[in-house]
Amino acid sequence: MTVRQPAVAGSFYPEDPRQLAGDVRKLLSKAPLAALRPKALIAPHAGFVYSGPIAATAYKCLEPVAAGIDRVILLGPAHRVALQGVALPGCGYFKTPLGDVALDPAAIAALADFDQVSCDPGAHRYEHSLEVQLPFLQIVLGDFQLVPLVVGHCPPPAVAEVLERLWGGDETLIVVSSDLSHYHPYATAQQLDRTTTAMIEALSDQLQSEQACGCMPLNGLLYLAKHHHLQLSTLDLRNSGDTAGSREQVVGYGAYALH
């Protein structure tokens, strides 16, 4: 089976496996632990120096339940290609410096009858939104199978239909990769991201791209969350001005858990 090679190792996160594992563990050690069992997480996807502390806040809450999770449905936006619907990568493994993550062939086969799902390796080749979540998942979960989905233009019910097919039980975790507002001054971004967070907490499926770059998969998850009567907890809300960047133009990051 073919392997999807890492596209942003050495830029978004360290290429050296020992340094990468150490950095992820350090980020997790500094993150607070929320006492809840998540069915789904929403985590940011910038370079680790910028969004890593916020992402770690999401993944920290998996530590007490990690042994029971063996499948991850990972959704992120298409940054580099124009895409309609939901794209599978057409490979058997995703590689990171920490090793290969095997895809779940049975779960992928279960999506074959959906018109909104296609196989598009090009949508995955350079896409960072999924890749940057993998080192956290590898450190926290260890061995697991992956269903990686890049989501382009796709209405919430169509995304929700895919997620419902793969919903499973406690063994299945859903992760949506999304940053929040982009390139506003610090105070403006704080206000915008608080408004977006209020919508996410209300399980609104009407988020727009200027609020969250992963709005398409996120809206699908929130649409379905209402039907499953899930609660949403905000775990962290910061921006690049709080972590490693200037405050003139910042990118917003949120960590959320559905449980």
Tell me the three state secondary structure of residue 182: strand
* pTM (predicted TM-score): 0.98
Is residue 139 predicted with pLDDT exceeding 90? Answer: yes
Residue 15's Cβ-side half-sphere holds a number of Cα atoms within 13 Å equal to 7
What's the whole-number mean pLDDT along residues 12-23? 98
Which residues are bridge partners to 252 per DSSP? 239
Phi-psi domain of 203 (left: phi exceeds 0; alpha: psi -120 through 50; beta: other): left
For residue 80, what pLDDT is reported? 86
pLDDT of residue 1: 72
What does the pLDDT read at residue 91?
97
Residue 109 has pLDDT above 90, yes or no: yes
For 87-96, what is each residue's pLDDT tens digit?
A: 999 999 999 9
10: left (phi over 0), alpha (psi -120 to 50) or beta: left
Give the model confidence (pLDDT) of 25-56 as tens digits: 999 999 999 999 999 999 999 999 999 999 99
pLDDT, the chain, mean: 97
208-246 pLDDT per residue, tens: 999 999 999 999 999 999 999 999 999 999 999 999 989
Amino acid at 45: H
Exposure pattern of 60-71 as b/e (b: 16+ CB <10 Å)?
Answer: bbbeeebeebbb
- Alpha-carbon span 209 to 144, nearest angstrom: 31
> What sections of 142-206 are H helices per DSSP?
156-166, 186-201
Contact residues for 122 (Cβ-Cβ < 8 A; gap 6+): 81
CA atoms within a 13 Å half-sphere pointing along the CA-CB vector of 226: 15
Are the beta carbons of 25 and 219 closer than 8 angstroms?
A: no
**Mean pLDDT, residues 182-197:** 98
How far apart CA 162 and CA 153 sit, in angstroms, is 14
Evaluate if residue 81 carries a pLDDT over 80.
yes
- State the pLDDT at residue 85: 98
Question: What's the confidence (pLDDT) of residue 192?
Answer: 98
Q: Report all structural domains of the chain as residue ranges with CATH numbers, in order of start.
A: 3-258 (3.40.830.10)
Amino acid at 97: P
Query: Of all residues in the chain, what percent carry a pLDDT higher than 90?
Result: 98
